[in-house]
Structure 1
């Protein structure tokens, strides 16, 4: 009996010893981990390299890393510095506003995971998970009023239409509409709520672009499971159009023509035809005049596809499956959209530098399911544009779509 007690006491002592040793090793690893991360304050880590080396010696690599040049970074930083600066504490020095912005831009540019960024930046992933959404929200809040403005007056809308006519030879066009799915890893509790027709979990970005690839309107956050008709139908844009709240220019004749039409938006088959929404003729057994209309509309509509492509190529997080919840994915998407407009406004060659490498892997909306038969007035407006492109609005190169 005594021997058994001795054995039990010995086993307990050994277990206690092993537990203490394991605890010591964990503390040692934790201390090593903290020390490794704290070396960022000694000027180690990729953000220090960008600040001290690339910034002064290689402007092109700097632009590639942060997806904007130094003057643009500095201007953006000054706009948001006050809102992203944190105070030092007794225990540690805070991460600077410069590093917070650079970290966020690198995340948007690369689509890297927080853990991957931790190893390159020496900022713990739990801290990164706080910084990135916070800075994205500040970017959107600070920039949206200046760089994401819907036209407010008749004159501003006419300027949009003039640009479409001059650049894309489609008159009386107020914008191109399309949507894109932003994929993410859905929360376990979400079920099929965000599950879209492509078998991915997503939220939808619906946008209107002007002739120069700038977003005039964005609507982010509708779950990817909703039908495409529902996305547009529930948007604030659709409701404002129905209530005549947008100060559109009055109907007028097409240029050099006696054919009066309303100002319109252009889109693809995923949207319903209406007096304000022009979409292609169905592709079966098309006559030449309908094929030419579809071609002319496609040239104007392509600006929204290119806008999505330019933005996604610059902020490649939008091409990944983002490992975050829907609320944070929405915040990230809003920041990317307003940064896209900010960069176009600051650099006219921004769009040109990205169009050559637009990634075709964009998750655009699928065709509408169901829907009402187009009203006679909507069909009439489309026919007037078709006839115009065959007569007063004809251009020599349009016939190449027939060959």
Structure 2
């Protein structure tokens, strides 16, 4: 009996000891957990404190996927390797070497010396490193550009003839046109000074019997046929307007080419640089001169068509029917001077056939048009040194008139007769404010009208 009690006591003591050991392990585990929680809390607090004190990080940029560049199959297209021996430039180069002026004039409307003069003028503005295995020299670049301007050929067809890529020819034309304008404009299309205006005024009096005339003025809308691709695929490009003056020798004296909004077509002249300078009296024109004794001084004038406003420096024809003899005499002399500008535009389009079909973006159209104009002036100014068969403007190329006033059409009309569209359209009527009194040119036109009437009477006697 006592043994059983003793065994029972021992069993209960063992259970008690095991229970105490288990309780002890739980307390240790709880202590360890509390220690870990405390450490985590301290770590979070330190991280938060560090973030508060640290400067803000820039926003993360989105990952840009790298576009793998397609490896070229060859360094140069094998079809282009035949360029030195089979390309069209080898024939041009031979003509330059042999001084074959007839062939070069047929190609570019200029002689070999004139071509080389152009090369020297644009050389400072075209520089390329000769790292390509077959570099395109400056003569070839100029030949490609002049070929496109003179013939109006497509860039793709000219590229095939010269054994070049179309994109290469596109870049060459844009580069050379910019260089030609930069090199030639200061010498052959500067803003005329008072001395130059006096020379022009003298030429108009000697050749066209119009006193105090410093130029023929006209404006044109430029018809641009933009290719239906790129940014103008689904919309029309902005229209272009050209406002220009010329001298008595069919050379441009002032040119303004820019885009405009169709709803503002009546303000093209007034908003252009040329028009604003003319209306504000900032062209440094010669001082007024009396046409006859006991007459008020007559200012220098530009002769324009009926779409331009009547201004003391801008004459327009007298409109109406059953006009008096004085008015008819004035209109006759007025139309003779306006024909000078008509012939100037006609010669420009006849010589530079690219203007018969402008199929480029507006910026490139402006560049090509300005380049053609400055080349026109350059060749017209250097025409005196050319033989009769190689003149840029031969004697019968522009319209001529006899003593009775009958007109003989010039050769340029035959060249442009086959054009399907006209590159130039006339401007609409131009608006003009009526506030300043100097903008009333009726009195100036009346003095000119009386002068022509008396001049014709003296001539008939």
What's the TM-score bracket when you normalise by the shorter of the two chains?
A: 0.7 to 0.9
Note closer, same or farther for the CA distance 1:118–1:278 as it changes in structure 2 (3 Å cut): same
Stretch of structure 1 that moved more, 49-58 or 269-278: 49-58
Q: Deviations over 1:177-207 (max 9, x none)?
A: 112333323352683453xxxxxxx422211
Deviation at 1:210, TM superposition (A): 0.8
Could you tell me which residue of structure 1 aligns to residue 217 of structure 2? Answer: 177
Partner of 2:428: 367
Aligned equivalent of 1:390, options 427, 449, 453: 453
Q: How far apart, CA to CA, are the structure 2 residues paired with 1:389 and 1:81?
A: 50
Deviation, structure 1 residue 33: 9.3
Range that drifts further, 223-232 or 384-393: 223-232
Tell me, which stretches of 5 or more residues in structure 1 are unaligned? 1-26, 195-201, 398-403
Seen in structure 2, the aligned counterparts of structure 1 residues 121 and 160 have a Cα distance that, compared at 3 Å, is: same
1:63–1:159: structure 2 CA closer, same or farther, 3 Å change rule? Answer: same
Contact in 1 for aligned 2:325/2:453 (Cα 8 Å): no
Residue in 1 that maps onto 2:26: none
SS of 1:206's equivalent in the other structure is strand
Match of 2:175 among 134, 147, 153: 134
Instruction: Tell me the SS of whatever aligns to 1:253.
Output: coil
Partner residue in 1 for 2:402:
none
Match of residue 327 from structure 1: 363
2:258 match: 221
1:163 aligns with 2:203: yes
Q: Distance in 2 between matches of 1:173 and 1:228?
A: 27
Residue 380 in 1 paired to residue 443 in 2? Answer: yes
Matched, 1:73 2:115: yes
Deviates more, 1:185-194 or 1:283-292: 185-194
Greater alpha carbon shift after TM alignment, 250-259 vs 119-128:
250-259
Cα shift readout 1:253-278 (whole Å, capped 9, x = no counterpart): 11567243211000111211111110
Does the residue aligned with 1:208 lie in a helix, a strand or coil? strand
Within 1, Cα distance between the matches of 2:353 and 2:200? Answer: 28
Give the superposition deviation at 1:286. 2.3
Among residues 200, 208, 211, which one is paired with 2:245 in the alignment? 208
Secondary structure (helix, strand or coil) at the match of 1:162 reads helix
**Matches of 2:75 and 2:125, distance apart in 1:** 33
Residues 286-305 of structure 1 correspond to what in structure 2 (within 5 A)?
A: 286-305=323-342
Residue aligning to 2:378: 342
Match of 2:98 in 1: 56
Matched, 1:317 2:354: yes
Task: Report if aligned partners of 1:221, 1:326 keep a CA contact under 8 Å in 2.
Answer: no
Q: Residue 393 of structure 1: CA displacement?
A: 5.8
Question: How many equivalent residue pairs?
Answer: 359
Q: Contact between 2:310 and 2:440, CA under 8 Å: does it hold in 1?
A: no
Task: Give the root-mean-square deviation of aligned CA atoms.
Answer: 2.8
Is 1:143–2:184 an aligned residue pair? yes
Match of 2:441, SS state, is helix
- Of 199, 212, 235, the residue aligned with 1:191 is 235
Residue 103 of structure 1 aligns to a residue whose secondary structure is helix
Q: CA deviation at 1:394?
A: 5.2
The more displaced of 226-235 and 269-278 is: 226-235
Relative distance call for 1:231 and 1:56 in structure 2 (3 A) is: same
Structure 2 CA distance for aligned equivalents of residues 190 and 271 of structure 1: 34
Q: TM-score, normalised by structure 1?
A: 0.81
SS at match of 1:317: helix
- Counterparts of 1:83-122 in structure 2, within 5 Å, are 83-89=125-131, 91-122=132-163
- Relative to structure 1, is the Cα distance of residues 115 and 58 closer, same or farther in structure 2, using a 3 angstrom cutoff? same
Distance 1:290 1:61, change over 3 A: same
Matches of 2:216 and 2:458 in 1, distance apart? 21
The equivalences for 1:20-35 within 5 A come to 34-35=77-78
1:268 and 2:305 are equivalent in the alignment: yes
- Tell whether the 8 Å contact from 1:40 to 1:122 is kept in structure 2 after alignment: yes
Change (3 A) 1:263 1:393: farther
Q: Which of residues 79, 83, 86 in structure 2 aligns to 1:36?
A: 79
Compared CA separation, residues 226 and 264, structure 1 to 2 (3 A): farther
Q: Does the CA contact (< 8 Å) of 2:224 and 2:423 recur in 1?
A: no
Q: Please, what TM-score do these two structures have when normalized by structure 2?
A: 0.72
Please point out which of 285, 293, 299 is paired with 1:248: 285
Can you list the C-alpha shifts for 1:331-378, whole angstroms capped at 9, x where unaligned?
111111111111111113432364332236452323316656797831
